[in-house]
Structure 1
Amino acid sequence: MDTTELKQRLIDEVESRKDELLELCSSLIKIPSENPPGDSTEISQFIADYLGKFDISVEWHESADKMYNLISTVGNSNEGKNLIFCGHTDVVPAGDRSKWDFDPFSGEIKDGWMLGRGASDMKAGLSGLIFATTILKRLNIELPGSLSLVIVPDEETGGEFGVPWLLEKGLVKGDGCLIAEPSSPRNPTIGQKGSYWFELEVFGEPGHGSLSPLAGQNAISDMVKALLEVQKLWDLTIEIPESVKPLIEVTHRYMREVETERLKYIDVFEKITVNIGTIEGGTKSNVIPESCKVQVDCRLPFGITQEEVTAILTDKLDQLGIRYELRRFGFRSQANYTDANDPVCKAIVDNITFVTDEEAYGVMQWASSDAKHFREYDIPVLQYGPAYLPTIHGYNERVKTEQIITCAKVYIAAVIDFLYSK
């Protein structure tokens, strides 16, 4: 089998049908699938109907009320390897519509841009995965293995009812996975920092405000002391393991040469980031507050565990002599990555170069994603998808239509390389 010739044939097919691909993407954006509330009924039915036009069957798995996971498989599932294409249908809320320059659910194409909520995160990538899968089916391509299209409804709020739910129930298995999350055009993300979210509540003793600080115990004042210690997590020097230093170094190169406008963030990969996201406390200005609560988002580099961060925090807070409770919630993971030489990474990176004739290489991401769940189940994974990164989760979200088409070409070519590789 001449795989290069087959890949080129499939790439040409995507090019000839690119208007259909963009129409699919536009249709997905037009369906509001904000999470919260997380109702994926309409968009899931649309996708299932679309796949059904090409005789691709769909398994429905409802993980929570109106949250539907869809699984479709093409190729030979009885032998060979299985590649997973994974994408999520949910998007973050559009927010204040008056701050958008266009209808966030228009799915309009203007001046070479696809417009709307989810254009970058991640309906453009999702449409590419779906479209590539249908092309393989439409052309009756005989694959020496199988491709599983896994579409989940819950990623933007932590993903409890999406990827981890499917993996835990054994509904998804594979030898490699591509998630079409937004990325740089030539630089897929092959590693992510860890996540450490916690709620800190400090307790005081109420009293009349006119007697403070002589009376009572002011929980807000004690919280100020506590937050000074929390923020010092950034100052810790973390010993990065030798095994991941090459990944950190190539990511530094990426920031110096590609994402130069974000060069000021280059230290983020070796530090614990600290974001105090919410704070509440007290009842009235003339009442000494008996409680103050904050929620904090920390991202952890390689070289430190969640348990070690907990130990550091509790040691520092105990020394303050305050009464407090530390509660974990939300995203939880250690820093994680897939080796750049793994077949699934090579399949994507090599085909970015094959399609674009430009150098490509994998880098680290300073945030977290569903990728960690696949790695927990020993499924190598990376992320690559069309995006205009400055607009993700913001107003006027958009992506270049050219990127949508390029990514779809990479996806379909990568299937061939991955399934035919030993």
Structure 2
Amino acid sequence: MSLDRVGMFVEEKEVVALAQQLIRIPSVYRPGVAGGNEERVARYVEALLRDLGLTVYYEEVEPGRPNVIAYYDSGKPGKTLLLEAHTDVVTEGDMDGWSYDPFGAAIANGRIYGRGACDTKGNLAAAICAVKTIQRAQIPFQGRILLCIPCDEEGMMIGIKHFIRRGWANGVDGAIICEPEENQLCITQKGAMRAIVKTYGKMAHGAMPLTGINPNTRMVRLLLRLEQLEQAEKERLGEHPMLGWPSITPTVVQAPVKGEPQLNVMPDQCLAMLDIRTVPGQDHGELRMKMEAILEELAREDRDFRATLEVIEDRPWTQTAKDDPVVQAVAESYQAITRKKPVYNGVPGATDGTYLHQAGVPIITTGAGDRHIPHHADEYVAVDQLVETTHLYARSALAFLGA
């Protein structure tokens, strides 16, 4: 049977209804709030996958924050393809900014509206419906499809880290990361380092600053040097054709670090948070050493300069070759489905695929949804694109697994 025939078994109403059901189960992580986590949507998905006859595992990463893992096994030896889509969504924010109920999953103008419609419950629905489509089509293949449906992609990615620690990524030959990329084939993504820098001084009266040491002015000097480092990295690397420029962005500056601020009190500490985004060619260890060298240089220039640098998260950039089998399977399937050449691109942020790549799994990121819509009010996914994504996941899985 031709691979192209699998598309005959995709049911639009099925994927739309599942996407709506997932959106209607809020899964914003709200610490300390009853039901403010991914548990309800994970339980729904677990039951659905068991009903499909898959082998399903439910693993709690933290209380109320589970991963759901499921296998669809051909019964024949072969490769393993991973489809990965997270259950958590970001906050809906100010309700007044929405034209539609963020958890209503309304359909209007050929779009499904709601928090997570684009990022990434629509694509989670497409991945599950792709497996259902393959079951209905009964096209023989070798190996198995592994579904990873983790918690906390929007936070510190504890779900995918737990998945890897538990050994689930071992033996996976390729992964499709189901994220909103307009069905473009993203074969690279930026790395991310999250860092906290602190400068230390001595509290004093604002009218008598010389009796103390001002950490704020010293933080200003440090941030300006980091801006110079950012520019040097841009000049060294140039603009990446898919990812753009590397960046070192101070996002939070806070003084005092503890206690109430007061206009006539010079604080004893100042804190800045850095969102650092890297591109292929940057070594995170070397970049950290360059930042530490700046602290040492400033300390030599000013005997009262004291500062610390703490990297609290380190996510490497990823890059997968176009001739990798998982990329080839998706590219060939995209062209067969759309009669168009695939558009290759990069992910401007980090995904769970960051850690899968680090664990040795070749990844490609693709899925339905305008890449600029996630986290916006009136988030949506186009129905026709979501159906196309279901076709793409189903056919790509069969192509990769030798159907």
Settle same-fold status: TM greater than 0.5: yes
Partner of 1:279: 253
Q: How is 1:135-284 mapped onto 2 (pairs within 5 angstroms)? A: 135-160=133-158, 162-173=159-170, 174-185=172-183, 187-212=184-209, 214-237=210-233, 239-240=236-237, 248-249=240-241, 251=242, 269=244, 271-282=245-256, 283-284=261-262
Q: Post-superposition shift, 1:215?
A: 2.2
Which residue, 274, 284, 288 being the options, matches 2:266?
288
Q: Post-superposition shift, 1:240?
A: 4.8
Contact 2:320/2:364 (<8 A) preserved: yes
Cα 1:359–1:327 shift into 2, 3 Å: same
* Cα distance in structure 1, aligned partners of 2:345 and 2:199: 39
Q: 5+ unaligned residues in a row in structure 2: which ranges?
A: none
Contact 2:9/2:136 (<8 A) preserved: no
Q: Which runs of structure 1 show a deviation greater than 4 angstroms over 4 or more consecutive aligned residues?
A: 238-241
1:399 paired with 2:395, answer: no
Which residue, 26, 34, 40 being the options, matches 2:20?
26
Q: Post-superposition shift, 1:55?
A: 2.2
* Cα distance in structure 2, aligned partners of 1:49 and 1:237: 49
Q: TM-score, normalised by structure 2?
A: 0.91
1:333 paired with 2:315, answer: yes
Contact 1:36/1:92 (<8 A) preserved: no
Q: TM-score, normalised by structure 1?
A: 0.87
Contact 1:133/1:149 (<8 A) preserved: no
Partner of 1:318: 296
SS of alignment partner, residue 278 of structure 1: strand
SS of alignment partner, residue 124 of structure 1: helix
* Cα distance in structure 1, aligned partners of 2:73 and 2:136: 12
* Cα distance in structure 1, aligned partners of 2:340 and 2:136: 30
Equivalent pairs, count: 388
* Cα distance in structure 1, aligned partners of 2:109 and 2:277: 37
Q: Post-superposition shift, 1:381?
A: 0.7
* Cα distance in structure 2, aligned partners of 1:48 and 1:370: 20
* Cα distance in structure 1, aligned partners of 2:343 and 2:108: 31
Q: Structure 2: which amino acid aligns with 1:220? A: N
Partner of 1:304: 282
Q: Post-superposition shift, 1:391?
A: 1.8
Partner of 1:257: none
Which residue, 115, 118, 129 being the options, matches 1:131?
129
* Cα distance in structure 1, aligned partners of 2:187 and 2:367: 13
**Deviation larger for 49-58 or 90-99:** 49-58
Q: Post-superposition shift, 1:278?
A: 1.3
Partner of 1:263: none
Q: Post-superposition shift, 1:292?
A: 0.7
* Cα distance in structure 1, aligned partners of 2:249 and 2:104: 33
RMSD over aligned CA atoms reads 1.9
Q: Structure 1: which amino acid aligns with 2:82? A: I
